[in-house]
Structure 1
Amino acid sequence: LKRVDGGRGFLQIMRGFELTTAKREHYHAALRGVPYPVQVLWGEDDTALRVDDFGQRAARAAGVELQRLPGRHFFQEEQAPAIAERIAALATGTAQSSAA
């Protein structure tokens, strides 16, 4: 993350996170009462946005079961096939879903 700029770009991104109630509600609205299927997938070993905190919150907001996959913050880089399977199951109506 430090690369050429000594980490300045990463720090700028991190400082840009807004932690207000209004921002949280904005994110939750994208998950609640929407006319499309929603699932919440999260990396089990994410140390930036921990699954037991942020993942659980997202699942509760969506009213779905949290689906944990092996991996860290960018777990999609390692779990692309598993994620694709979950998306396909959701799209075809064969995904398992229950309220968290």
Structure 2
Amino acid sequence: MIDQYHGDDRCPSEITDVSYPIQAIWGADGPFLKLEEKGQEIKKAAGLSKIHKLSSKHFIQEEKPLEIVGKLEEIIQVFQHRRPQ
């Protein structure tokens, strides 16, 4: 999961061709890093099928910590069901 995206060139290199799973939880109401633009860049660079959205602005960790935990639990459940036993 990417915790902050600052719109520079670091982010794509941090999420492209990595050996660990990537998921993005996005504050969909942010006034600067718009989901429609920057979120789609992240989605494409990381090869994600979706971005997990929360109704929040830029400081999603401070504004919606419990909702982030809920999304993480959902993501973990999906990955546990996909993992071979």
1:49-96: CA deviations, max 9, x gaps? 11111111111111111111101111222211121233344456248x
Structure 1: which 5+ residue stretches go unaligned?
Answer: 1-16, 96-100
Q: Which amino acid in structure 1 is aligned with residue 34 of structure 2?
A: R
For structure 2, list consecutive stretches of 5 or more residues without a partner in the other structure.
Answer: 1-5
Q: 2:63 aligns with which of 73, 78, 81?
A: 78
TM-score normalised to structure 2 length: 0.69
- Larger Rg over CA atoms: 1
Q: CA RMSD in A?
A: 2.5
Higher relative contact order (CA 8 A, sep 6+): 2
Give the distance between the partners of 2:71 and 2:53, measured in 1 at CA.
11
Give the count of matched residue pairs. 75
Map of 1:49 onto structure 2: 33
Point out 4+ residue stretches in structure 1 off by more than 2 angstroms: 85-92
40 and 88 in structure 1: CA distance in 2 versus 1, 3 angstrom threshold? same
Structure 2 distance, partners of 1:85, 1:33, is: 27
Taking structure 1 as the reference length, the TM-score comes to 0.61
Q: In structure 1, how many angstroms separate the alpha carbons of the residues matched to 2:31 and 2:74?
A: 28
How far apart, CA to CA, are the structure 1 residues paired with 2:17 and 2:73? 21
One-letter amino acid matched to 2:19: P
Report the Cα distance in structure 2 between the residues aligned to 1:88 and 1:34, rounded to whole angstroms. Answer: 22
Cα separation, 1, equivalents of 2:73 and 2:41: 24
